[in-house]
Amino acid sequence: MRSEDQNRFDRQYQKHLTALKLHDLADSTCDAYARAVRRVAAAFDRCPDEISDEQYHQHFLSLIDLHSWSTVRLDLAGLTFFFRHTLQQPWQGAKIVRPKAVC
């Protein structure tokens, strides 16, 4: 990432960590949600809010191929949390993948 983009991501990521703490989520949930944001930013070398819907499609297809459905669910929830609570905007990407419900 360019330095100004990295600085922007660092600010967003710190705000995300603060939001996770304020919502009193379990440590393991916080770790997973933070990892989801880092993973997608690293995959496309840009801030998550600058990634296109098509790129999110590619990202989740790759996750499905390489990871368990549990990881896919956690990344989906983590990115949804990031957009809702950190950026305070809706995320259309939440409709990209629909993991089966766990019974």
H helical segments located in the chain:
3-22, 27-44, 53-66, 69-81
* Cα 34-36-38 angle, rounded to 5 deg: 70
8 has pLDDT over 90 = yes
pLDDT value, residue 102: 59
pTM confidence score: 0.89
Domains of the chain (ranges; CATH) run 3-95 (1.10.150.130)
